[in-house]
Amino acid sequence: MKFNTKTIHGGQEHDKAYGAVMPPIYQTSTYAQSTPGGHKGFEYSRTHNPTRSALEKSFASLENGNYGLAFASGLAAIDAVLKLLRPGDEVISTNDLYGGSYRLFSQIYANFGIKFHFIGMKNAENIETFVTKNTKLIWVETPTNPMLNIIDIKKAASIAKKHQILLGVDNTFATPYLQQPLELGADIVMHSATKYLGGHSDVIMGALVVKNKELADRLYFIQNSSGAVCGPQDSFLLLRGIKTLHVRMERHCVNGRAVAEYLENHPKVEKVYWPGFKHHTNHEVAKSQMKDFGGMISFTTKGNSYEKAKKIVENLKIFTLAESLGGVESLSGHPASMTHASIPKEEREKTGIVDSLIRLSVGIEDKDDLIEDLRQAIG
């Protein structure tokens, strides 16, 4: 089955009771048993729920994996991965990780005796320098937020294989439409399904997909034991969102390219970060591991003024100033005052998050309106 068919049919079967075309919302916590242990595969909804199971099969199908798991949020999904580890284990991750993941690693799991190395991964060979006998997990995000840095997944996978370390990839920004990490050698793919997979800014959810049965069993055990599962209504919304993932992504890419090119030629714009540009670091890697370049763009304006950047995001009318990304509507963000405000200025600026940096999640509106909005806001 091709990807554009999988978004609609992948892992799905027609409802056995009435032939409903959409999976029914099984809003139930428990299931009747005819005799103790006599049930139809469902006992209690923390463990299994038919709507969630349909979604988990869809996740697995989209990423070319064998097993999918749905969680209450993206961070709950990452949390489940970290529970594979024990005190003394080490994790190698990127130095421009999503802020929430960084907080989970450095402020929760570091307290449980897990050691984290946050390193530059633009040159993926750098990862090997930090491998010790205790390294159990390499955690990669590509493209990264908000600098759109590209990490070579195949290279990271070969280092992971060589040292028998698990490689996990946060595929939130790319989506399986653009990039399929399991095909490139990763062991675990993770999504904040809140973003592009859901696509309509109306649900918080997380996903994991793996190929290996033993790894899947360990993760299902953690999912059931810790209990950070999503409900059937949210599962339904995700299933509904996924059905248009391919058409949405196609338009996000077209609009993203148009906006990136407009900004690149704007006299007041200093620098545009979008992996589709030849001058973007690791553009060749992006080209080889992604089908297109997506709708996430960051840019800075000349003079690097904090006030000016705030004015721009305030003046934008179609781009809504808000956290999050990946929905049908365009959003803007000012990392220095919003998502990355808690990081000291000097630290922030080392990774490129300067005062004038603005991040855009380019939606699927008419691209001419988006460009006009940027024109009037930048002035």
Ligand X SMILES: *Cc1c(COP(=O)(O)O)cnc(C)c1O
Residues with a catalytic annotation lie at 46, 98, 170, 195
For ligand X, what does the binding mask look like between residues 175 and 214, x meaning CB under 6 A? -----------------x-xx--------x-x--------
Which residue number places its CB atom closest to ligand X? 74
User: Is residue 340 involved in binding ligand X (CB under 6 A)?
Assistant: no
Complete DSSP assignment for 322-343? -S---SSS-EEE-TTTTTTTTS
User: Is residue 74 involved in binding ligand X (CB under 6 A)?
Assistant: yes
Span from 62-70, 93-101, 230-238, 303-311 in contact with ligand X (CB under 6 A): 93-101
From the CB of 335, what's the least distance to ligand X, in Å? Answer: 12
User: Is residue 141 involved in binding ligand X (CB under 6 A)?
Assistant: yes
Cβ-based burial of 183 (10 A; exposed 0-12, middle 13-18, buried ≥19): middle
From the CB of 193, what's the least distance to ligand X, in Å? Answer: 7
User: Is residue 145 involved in binding ligand X (CB under 6 A)?
Assistant: yes
Nearer to ligand X, 74 or 176 (CB): 74
User: Is residue 101 involved in binding ligand X (CB under 6 A)?
Assistant: yes
- Structural tokens at position 288: 């080889």
User: Is residue 172 involved in binding ligand X (CB under 6 A)?
Assistant: yes
DSSP state, residue 184 = G
Phi, psi for residue 169 in degrees, rounded to 5 = -125, 125
From the CB of 288, what's the least distance to ligand X, in Å? Answer: 21
DSSP state, residue 231 = P
> Quick count: other Cβ atoms within 10 Å of Cβ 357?
26
Amino acid (1-letter code) at residue 38:
G
Distance CA 247, CA 198 (A): 13
Selected from 98, 109, 177, 293, the binder of ligand X by CB under 6 A is 98
Nearer to ligand X, 100 or 352 (CB): 100
Span from 104-112, 114-122, 165-173, 219-227 in contact with ligand X (CB under 6 A): 165-173
User: Is residue 100 involved in binding ligand X (CB under 6 A)?
Assistant: yes
Nearer to ligand X, 51 or 172 (CB): 172
Nearer to ligand X, 328 or 371 (CB): 328
Nearer to ligand X, 142 or 300 (CB): 142
Nearer to ligand X, 206 or 276 (CB): 206
> Quick count: other Cβ atoms within 10 Å of Cβ 221?
12
Tell me how far apart the terminal alpha carbons of the chain are, to the nearest angstrom: 48
> 203 Cβ partners below 8 Å, 6+ apart?
193, 194, 234, 237, 238, 241
By CB under 6 A, the count of residues binding ligand X is 16
User: Is residue 142 involved in binding ligand X (CB under 6 A)?
Assistant: no
Taking each helix axis from N to C end, the angle separating 50-62 and 232-242, rounded to the nearest 10 degrees, works out to 30
Q: What angle do CA 140, 142, 145 make, to 5 degrees?
A: 105
Burial 155-178 (b: 16+ CB within 10 A, else e): bbbbbbeeeebbbbbbbbbbbbbb
Contacting positions for ligand X (CB under 6 A): 73-75, 98, 100-101, 141, 145, 170, 172-173, 192, 194-195, 204, 206
